[in-house]
Structure 1
Amino acid sequence: MTVEKTRKHIAQTKELIDDLKAVCANYGLGNDGNEFKIITQIFLYKYLNDKFTYELRKVKPEIFKSEDWVEALKALPEDEYKKLEFQIESDIAFLKPEHFIPYLFNRQDQPDFAKRLDETLLDIAATNNDLFAVTTPDGVKIRLFEPITEYVSSKRDAFAKALINKLVNDINFEDVMTEGFDFFSTIFEYLIKDYNNDAGGKYAEYYTPHAVSKIMAAILVPEPVENVTIFDPSAGSGTLLMTLAHAIGANKCTVYSQDISQKSSNLLRLNLVLNNLVHSIQNVIQGNTMTNPYHRGKTFNYIVSNPPFKLDFSDDIDELNKKVNQERFFAGIPNVPKKAKSKMAIYSMFLQHIMYSLDKNKGKAAIVIPTGFITAQSGIDKKIREEMIARNMLAGVVSMPSNIFATTGTNVSIVFLDTQNDGNVVLIDASNLGRTVKDGKNQKTVLDPKEEQQIIETFINNDAIDDFSVVVSYDDIKAKNYSLSAGQYFEVKIEYVDITGEEFDSKLKDFESNLNLLFAESDKLEKEINDNLNALRYD
């Protein structure tokens, strides 16, 4: 896709979002958490319309010669319309004539229009439930759409009309359907700044910075691969999975995920739909990965994760402790702090789960962890590092700049695992890269593309660069008490300058003279202070 075309569609996407936000604001939902649901669902409804229309033009071009193509479509015999299910690609939502935006637009003045809009969305979800439903571990199916007009307390018909009217403007996404345009990142990044507050919900927790996801994917997949599985046990909205899938190719990988949040699972489903990965929606699981891992027993070729660093899972401790001796939690379960239960090191649980879930023959992983993990002198963190070495699976660590995540002050690193590692471990200290920018009330560090590429190429090429990277062996790491901090392996260089005996004596005399002057000044100050103290009187 050309730069001009990309800019055009980014602008159109933002324009539609702004239009939908204006509607929500006019009906009392401005910056409301439900506003996010409404905008993303209405945008998805628009996308599915344009996607189906794009495919329909290829198999039934004569339909669009009609002045009202939706009515022409509706006039088709029932058996002929059903044949379209076999003619149109199987990973596309199949729509009935009454599901199309123009059909609703022409009926917006009929009674109970809000009910008609909600029922249309629910019927699309029911018609395509096998393709688009997210599953919970106990088998419950979470459908694609939910009623959206119920979020306004009055004037529901007017609200529904206003939404539909925003969808019949000149914005059409048909011409970008095969271009690989990333709708989701445009939607999410554009909306995120409005909802990263207490009133709108902390949606930022679901989004990993582009630089981090790009570095992880590029290092994991330096060469083309096919027919592989990718997994994220704490998937959020799926940023890491989507970046990795694009690096591999959407038709060359199958996505698996689990996340405890229904909101996150719904966002991930949206992400999969918008990124031509509908075939993987059946593998999206909403549930607790730690206590009820749905994909347990299956191993994966690639695993990416930005697990929660601090999360209260004290209610799950008893159940987890029953499993502490199992292979999955070989290093143990973190203790419950007496205070601040929200500061439990849950990431160590995810690290162990990822090591357990990685394909033993051809498995690679990249995990975002707090930088403190790489130097901990005892406890679960050190046990995990020791096990990474014992299994010959540690490939390297990249320590990122501070504030790479605008929403947290925690310094982060990325641990890379490879079950076929050759014994070399690449340690990179990228903490001095990037520039600081303002992101709302927060400061964040942004890497430019050259810096991102520097990290990627240094890792892939196993390059050792002064004060930036080092390549060490497993024995080297053991000798350093399993520290994975690049700085501890850098050579300390002392520069020597040859001088004559006369120059040495001259410098020494200068030092002595300067010291004498400083001592004299010190004596003078000491006398002045004592004189001032003695002069003090109480009146």
Structure 2
Amino acid sequence: MVEQEFQQKTKTLIDSLKSICANYGLGNDGNEFKIITQTFLYKFLNDKFAFEAKKLDDNIAKADKWEEALAAMSEDDLDMLQLQMGGDTARLKPQHFISYLFSQQNAPDFAKLFDDTLIDIAITNNDVFAVKTDGGAKVVLFDRISQYIADDSKRDAFCRAIINKLVEFSFERIFTQKFDFYATIFEYLIKDYNSNSGGKYAEYFTPHAVARIMAEILVPQDQRGTVRNVSCYDPSAGSGTLLMNVAHAIGENRCSIYTQDISQKSSNLLRLNLILNNLVHSIPNVIQGNTVLHPYHVESTKDGKELKRFDYIVSNPPFKLDFSDFRDELDSKENKERFFAGIPKIKPKDKDKMEIYQLFLQHIIASLKPSGKAAVVVPTGFITAQSGIDKKIREHLVKNKMLAGVVSMPSNIFATTGTNVSILFIDASNDGDVVLVDASNLGEKVKDGKNQKTVLTPAEEQKIIDVFNAKEAVDDFSVAISYDDIEAKNYSLSAASTLMSKSNMSISPQNSFPERCRPLPAT
């Protein structure tokens, strides 16, 4: 009941902030998402500080106005209190509190006071909360919000409207909630700002069904609680949906997140997602930059620098993108091992169809620990291409016995693209059978704005997860197949064609097709 109440209050707050932006001419403006997400973050950090302070000090907890009790503390006592707080709690001063700004809202130049407060919070917390670029610059928590109002005379009123909304209720009672609550809130918060309408480096919001399937297969239920001190990486992280699901499966305090993404907007949204999900300790590992050209996460060795290796990697990379402006820089001695299958050629007449996912996929394989696991969204054409880089990558995975399987998803699982997708599961230590699942006939078609998408039911999601994890062969749905049989099939990873071949074999016993598709013994 408390969760539903606060979920509604939180959504109402977000809607109110969007309404304020619209009233001041910023509705659908390019800067609206900065105002909404940063204001929401300020509110969240303020209330989290109050929650932690009250847990640590009975006098603050019992005070009619906790802010006044904190303001009355000596500087040394306040420093000691903040030292006892967890690393995911921002360091705030009494003049940073929402209640203080609310009391000062009629002061001259209120917009300047509001902006100065946010900037001071950003500076005070720069070491923990700043996102880095691949060049080493730090992207701080907050901008000067009032600068986005073109008319100087309206800035004070705009900031007053915001502070009056922020003071209306407190998040304090929901800080005991878990991932699912914050995942819902985060999705609602960014739903208008994370779409494929942003041009060349647009962000795509990965459907939760895809994220959950990835997490449940990478970290099965029977391994929950046993996995600890592991690294999780996404080289094209977006706003972090995939990583949040994997971190939740492992346990937020049992893993460290590493990311890189070329989009500054995505990196800022990812930072917010980490804060909401008790993963503040990983913010220093969030890098804004070009992973393909300048991979940031590297380690020093006696022979120089090499890619950092990770325990878990998840990714929904861009499929097709014009990278002709830096393609030649990739074709170097240093990148020969990383891009072992080759670098896609420039397509002079259709540069936007250059297969950049092939670069990300090779980078992921090169970034995996010898015992590591990965799950990557790929265009379904990748699993059957009979020549070129796609086939070379599949050959590499088979010959090095580092393939767990493939799940071919229904069409339109992403509302924003008509491309059919599959999830490629890599397991660098799998020397057993490979699971191929054809889930293309599952799901229900629904309208999502102007687009149509396919939605899986919870039971369908669970069927995919259970069959894959059990390496189970199910008629017209899945097969378990050996590496030798995949090689004999010309390295095709298509469940549908394998199932059809199996069906033909049962009709014609004399058929000499070499694959051996069979269920494993029950465990």
- What TM-score comes out, normalization by structure 2 length? 0.90
Alignment correspondent of 1:534:
none
**Matches of 2:91 and 2:475, distance apart in 1:** 57
Change (3 A) 1:200 1:116: farther
**Where do 5+ consecutive residues of structure 1 fail to align?**
497-539
Change (3 A) 1:465 1:192: same
Equivalent pair of 1:27/1:152 in contact (CA under 8 Å):
yes
Q: Map 1:215-294 to 2 at 5 A.
A: 215-222=213-220, 223-224=223-224, 225-294=227-296
Code of the aligned partner of 1:262: Q
**Matches of 1:111 and 1:198, distance apart in 2:** 42
Equivalent pair of 1:231/1:304 in contact (CA under 8 Å):
yes
Moved more, 416-425 or 270-279: 416-425
2:310 counterpart SS class: coil
**Matches of 1:72 and 1:191, distance apart in 2:** 32
Code of the aligned partner of 1:332: G
Code of the aligned partner of 2:407: V
Q: Map 1:57-72 to 2 at 5 A.
A: 57-72=54-69
Per-residue CA deviation, residues 296-354 of structure 1 (Å, 9 max, x unaligned), is 32100000000000111111111101147621000010011112211110000011000
Alignment correspondent of 1:303:
313
Equivalent pair of 1:192/1:203 in contact (CA under 8 Å):
no
1:76 counterpart SS class: coil
Q: Map 1:295-374 to 2 at 5 A.
A: 295-296=297-298, 297-323=307-333, 326-360=336-370, 362-374=371-383
**Matches of 2:88 and 2:187, distance apart in 1:** 26
CA apart distance, 1:65? 4.0
Alignment correspondent of 2:132:
135
CA apart distance, 1:182? 4.5
Would you say 1:110 and 2:120 are equivalent positions? no
Q: Map 1:438-477 to 2 at 5 A.
A: 438-477=447-486
Equivalent pair of 1:324/1:332 in contact (CA under 8 Å):
no
Code of the aligned partner of 1:226: R
Structure (1 or 2) with the larger CA radius of gyration: 1
Equivalent pair of 1:195/1:202 in contact (CA under 8 Å):
no
1:465 counterpart SS class: coil
CA apart distance, 1:172? 1.9
Alignment correspondent of 1:101:
98
Q: Map 1:149-228 to 2 at 5 A.
A: 149-154=146-151, 155-169=154-168, 171-182=169-180, 184-191=182-189, 194-195=192-193, 205-222=203-220, 223-224=223-224, 225-228=227-230
Alignment correspondent of 2:50:
53
Code of the aligned partner of 2:98: I
1:311 counterpart SS class: coil
1:314 counterpart SS class: coil
CA apart distance, 1:493? 5.3
**Matches of 2:287 and 2:194, distance apart in 1:** 25
Change (3 A) 1:213 1:204: farther
Equivalent pair of 1:265/1:286 in contact (CA under 8 Å):
yes
CA apart distance, 1:201? 7.9
**Matches of 1:75 and 1:177, distance apart in 2:** 25
Code of the aligned partner of 2:492: S
Change (3 A) 1:166 1:452: same
- What TM-score comes out, normalization by structure 1 length? 0.88
Change (3 A) 1:42 1:200: farther
CA apart distance, 1:80? 1.7
Change (3 A) 1:80 1:189: closer
CA apart distance, 1:195? 4.5
**Matches of 1:485 and 1:17, distance apart in 2:** 44
Change (3 A) 1:125 1:182: farther
Equivalent pair of 2:196/2:202 in contact (CA under 8 Å):
no
CA apart distance, 1:37? 1.3
Equivalent pair of 2:196/2:416 in contact (CA under 8 Å):
no
Per-residue CA deviation, residues 136-164 of structure 1 (Å, 9 max, x unaligned), is 12211111111111111120000000000
Per-residue CA deviation, residues 96-132 of structure 1 (Å, 9 max, x unaligned), is 0000000000000001111111111111110010010
Equivalent pair of 1:424/1:473 in contact (CA under 8 Å):
yes
**Matches of 2:337 and 2:210, distance apart in 1:** 30
What is the CA RMSD across the aligned residues, in angstroms?
1.9
CA apart distance, 1:204? 7.6
CA apart distance, 1:7? 2.0
Alignment correspondent of 2:76:
79
Alignment correspondent of 1:508:
none
Code of the aligned partner of 1:218: E
Equivalent pair of 2:395/2:491 in contact (CA under 8 Å):
yes
Equivalent pair of 1:32/1:200 in contact (CA under 8 Å):
no
**Matches of 2:195 and 2:83, distance apart in 1:** 46
2:209 counterpart SS class: helix
**Matches of 1:86 and 1:495, distance apart in 2:** 69
**Matches of 2:201 and 2:15, distance apart in 1:** 18
**Matches of 1:103 and 1:428, distance apart in 2:** 57
1:384 counterpart SS class: helix
Alignment correspondent of 2:411:
402
**Matches of 2:81 and 2:132, distance apart in 1:** 27
**Where do 5+ consecutive residues of structure 2 fail to align?**
299-306, 508-523
Equivalent pair of 1:303/1:358 in contact (CA under 8 Å):
yes
Change (3 A) 1:237 1:387: same
Per-residue CA deviation, residues 238-260 of structure 1 (Å, 9 max, x unaligned), is 10000000000000001000011
Count of residue pairs the alignment pairs up: 491
CA apart distance, 1:494? 9.3
CA apart distance, 1:179? 1.9
Code of the aligned partner of 2:208: H
Equivalent pair of 1:13/1:183 in contact (CA under 8 Å):
no
Equivalent pair of 2:55/2:61 in contact (CA under 8 Å):
no
Change (3 A) 1:244 1:91: same
